[in-house]
Each structure stands twice: as C-alpha cells, then as structure tokens.
Amino acid sequence: RTFNHQDPIPPRPWLVGDEAEPVIPQGKVAILAGEGAIGKSTLLIDLALSVAAGKPWLGFTTSPGSVLLVAGEEDQNDIQRRLKTGLTDWSEAATKTVLDRLVIVPGAGRSLTLMDDRGGPTALCRELIGRLQAPPDHGEGWSLIALDPLSRFASSAVEIDNVAATAFVSLMERLLTVPGKPTVLLTHHTSQIARNEQSGAATGVRGVTGLTDAVRCVLTMTKTKTKNDDVHLNVPKQNYGRGLPPIPLIREGA
C-alpha cells in the first residue's frame, strides 16, 4: 500500500510518559543499562508492577497491560522476595490486578539464549513467540516484555560484532508483533570507562555501538559524585522526543 499523506496518523503510543514528557515508547526495543548492583533489576520490577497496575512510574504515566518479565539471574525465591518488597503498602485490589497481569519467569540455571550463532532464532525463541501470540487469560494484550539481563538471551558475538548486535535487535523486534504490540526492554551493563567517568551517555553501554544504534530508546543509571553515591536515571537516547533531565532515584528495600 502506498503512503497517502492525507491519511490520519494516530498519536504515538508511549509505555511510559507522553509526547510532552517522553520516556519509553510503546512497541519498540529499548535498553536500560547501568553498572552491576546499581539497582537495574529493582527498577525493572518496579516498572513491571506499575505497568501491570496502570500506576504512574517515577511520576510518569504508564500504558497498562500484561507484562512478561524473564529474570535471567533470579530463582523462584528471589522473585518472591522482590515481589513482596515491591508490593509493600499496595492495596489488596491493586495487588490482585498486578498478579493477574504479571507473568514472571525465574531463569537462574537455565539456558535462555534466543539467538543462535548465525543470527537466527533458537528453538526457545520460536517457542516464546508462539506462546506470546496467545493473549493472557484475561484477554488483554502485552504492554511490556522485560528481559533481564541481555547477556543471558544474546549470542556471545552480540557485544563484539556490530552485525550480530543489529541482528539481535532485529530478532527482538519480532516480539513487538505479539498481541498488544509491547515494548521490549532489555537490561544491560555499562562499560568500565562509563562507570569511572560516571557518564550517563548512550555510548557508555557495554559492547559495540550496533546495540545502541539499533534500539529506539536507551536509559542509563548512574551514580552521582556525592558521598552517598545517589543514583540518577538518564534518557540519553530517545528517537521520538526531546531528552529529559536526570531523574533522581531513591532505593527502598532490597
């Protein structure tokens, strides 16, 4: 079908934020990066809970819907502890909504590779896409697919070869076609140089530039140069809107 400039264009959907305050676009692949133990998994679970409940996240609106979170480094007990902490002080009704919409898969000790050495999908990837094609039991589509961390799902070449990195992001884009047109958010680590410089730039994401070039949104977590090592969330790459000033984070619980 040829493009008709007179066709109405729907507004761009956002998983987090809106046109005025764009944070994470809906239906795109994004990366959340930071150094080890800075709180990426904690922040990701907080996002998953907020999206599942349709509650604001860090003060920004969210697009409610079903969420799949594959926690590649956590076991079942880890997940239960994190959920209990994340749902502290939530109402019974809000907690029920979250548990109805949220699917968490503990992945510790399992092989989770989604891309083979030739850049194609593994059998696990094809199985995952097939399962996601069926909407959740309550019939709503997926709003968010979160994979934590990227290294558990990508081939060994993704961080050292731009062709492999681009192929991996392209493979992740296949997940965008499932019901709901979800955002795919991958956590990843920053480079040692970025940590030393406490840089929140997209170029600080570990690996080749093909990763950050191919995704549509990059978020980074950085420690500030204070005695408390406060943490900020940055949005250094946002293809569909202006940047935002660093967002201060306060970590509560474990």
Q: Return the structure tokens found at 139.
A: 């019939």
Look up tokens 């692949």; give the residue. 29
Range with lowest mean pLDDT among 126-130, 227-231, 242-246: 227-231
Write the pLDDT tens digit of every residue in 168-220. 999 999 999 999 999 999 999 999 999 888 889 999 999 999 999 999 999 99
Q: Return the structure tokens found at 209.
A: 């530039």
Q: Is the peptide bond before 149 cis (omega within 30 degrees of 0)?
A: yes
Task: Tell which wins on pLDDT, 45 or 227.
Answer: 45
pLDDT averaged over every residue in the chain: 92
> How much is the pLDDT for 48?
97
Q: How confident is the model at residue 5 (pLDDT cuts 50, 70, 90)?
A: confident
Q: Report the 10 Å Cβ neighbour count for 37.
A: 8
Look up tokens 């204070």; give the residue. 226
Look at residues 221, 64, 222 and name the one whose alpha carbon lies nearest to residue 143: 64
What does the alpha-carbon distance between residue 15 and residue 182 come to, in Å, rounded to a whole number? 8
What does the alpha-carbon distance between residue 119 and residue 222 come to, in Å, rounded to a whole number? 31
State the number of CA atoms in the 13 A half-sphere of 186 facing the CB.
Answer: 28
What does the alpha-carbon distance between residue 180 and residue 182 come to, in Å, rounded to a whole number? 6
Q: How confident is the model at residue 252 (pLDDT cuts 50, 70, 90)?
A: low
> DSSP code of 198?
T
Dihedrals φ, ψ of 41, to 5°? -65, -40
What does the alpha-carbon distance between residue 59 and residue 81 come to, in Å, rounded to a whole number? 25
Q: Are 143 and 64 in contact (CB under 8 A)?
A: yes
Q: How confident is the model at residue 254 (pLDDT cuts 50, 70, 90)?
A: very low
Helix (H) or strand (E) holding 217: strand 217-223
Alpha helices for the chain (secondary structure H) = 40-53, 76-86, 92-101, 123-132, 162-173, 192-197, 209-214
What does the alpha-carbon distance between residue 96 and residue 30 come to, in Å, rounded to a whole number? 28
Alpha helices for 54-91 (secondary structure H) = 76-86
Amino acid identity at 147: L
Given a cut of 90, whether residue 251 has pLDDT beyond it is no
pTM value? 0.94
Q: What percent of the chain has pLDDT over 90?
A: 82
Strand partners, 183: 144
